[in-house]
Structure 1
Amino acid sequence: MLTVTLCVIASCDTCFAQPNITSGKNHFDTESAALATLAKLGWWATATGALLCPACAMDAAERLCQQRGHLWAPWRPCWCHGKSLPHTTPGRPAVCGGELRWCARCQHGETRFPGTGTKAVA
């Protein structure tokens, strides 16, 4: 008996990579199932319908940020809570005073500390 089965196989439209799924199941029953799994793995489906692996998606995000600017999240307090000596505020050793923010699109980050300018971290 011969059975014909149709499935969905994903590959990056830029580099042609296929997803690295630990279960070994690179074939999907539906496009929706493929897109749901790929989204969890960091793949992007663009507005034009292109499918991008995480590396190509990050390249595309960085190019878009260069053209349009970053999508900054709000500044957040530094996580060191004054325990990192380079982060301490003079006269207030237990207070860091530093802040961090990240781009929601390309993950570029910046820090700023009292009395200093903004510095790129990624």
Structure 2
Amino acid sequence: MLKTDILNAPLLSALATLGHTDTVVIADCGLPIPAGPILIDLALVRGTPSFTDILEVLSRNLVIESSTLASEARGTGVLEICVEQGLNASFISHEQLKAHLPKAKVVVRTGEVTPYANVILHCGVDF
């Protein structure tokens, strides 16, 4: 049995495929998800699970080199949540963020309803 706090088998399986420079997107429930990336849809009801819940779990279980937020997320509390998790964030427009989605390896959809509560996590290595 693995030593991880992640119980969702599809999420754990998708994370196991990640390598250096791959990207994982944590998406709010309204972000349009293109065909291509592995989609792990965890959304249950509005607000559950939250952006914070998923970011905390992924931050504990992934090597994250950097992150990218939409510049529109400033002032929504999303940046502060990322900083609390020790992420080094850069900014692009929301339209540019959506344009990066097809290149993501994994998209984790949350029940989050805060506008612009989306982040691209850039995977690093632990050596």
Fold shared per TM-score above 0.5: no
TM-score (norm 1): 0.20
* Structure (1 or 2) with the larger CA radius of gyration: 1
TM-score (norm 2): 0.20
Between Structure 1 and Structure 2, the one with more helix by share is 2
Between Structure 1 and Structure 2, the one with more strand by share is 2
